[in-house]
Amino acid sequence: MAYRDLDHMTDAFIEVVGNTMDEAFGNAGISVVDTIVDIKSVENKEDREIEIHANDLKNLLYSWLEEVIILTITDGFAGKVFNVKITKNGTYHLLAKVSGEEINFVKHHFKMEIKSPTYHLMEIIDEKPVLMRFLLDL
């Protein structure tokens, strides 16, 4: 599995793996959506783009998680497939195409609301495979 829930008393603590940094970030996006709604019920009907710039990987991950939460909770769009491309030219640049559909609470089982990501317990291990752990404030 590309992600799994870790034990935490009050928040969602998630561990993500990917063969590349791009894949790990994509899997992190999937894990966020699957925390909010049942991702198995989401279909790929339309695409959205997310673009982020950051000075380091932790800030990039935080901003990425934040944007996926906004896309899902605020904009009402559930992503199912996350194609992420990260480049570095002085700063990090992330460009993602997110395929999914508008949230329909009759079709998509709502699980829980995420307030925000947090830097607490955030970890990125840039090895093969890439391993990330992060906490989502519920």
Read off the CATH number of the domain in which 60 is found: 3.55.10.10
Please give the Cα distance from 84 to 48 (Å, whole number). 12
Q: What is the span of the domain harbouring residue 119?
A: 3-137
Please give the Cα distance from 4 to 96 (Å, whole number). 22
- What percent of the chain clears pLDDT 70, i.e. is strictly above it? 99
8-12, 39-43, 63-67, 100-104, range with the lowest pLDDT: 8-12
Note the pTM of the prediction, 2 decimals.
Answer: 0.96
1-10, 11-20, 41-50, 108-117, range with the lowest pLDDT: 1-10
SS3 93: strand
Contact 65, 28 (CB under 8 A): yes
5-9, 21-25, 93-97, range with the lowest pLDDT: 5-9
Q: Alpha-carbon Rg of the chain, whole angstroms? A: 14
pLDDT of 61-108, one tens digit each? 999 999 999 999 999 999 999 999 999 999 999 999 999 999 998 899
Please count the structural domains in the chain. Answer: 1
Average predicted confidence (pLDDT) for the chain: 96
- Confidence at residue 105, expressed as pLDDT on a 0 to 100 scale: 86
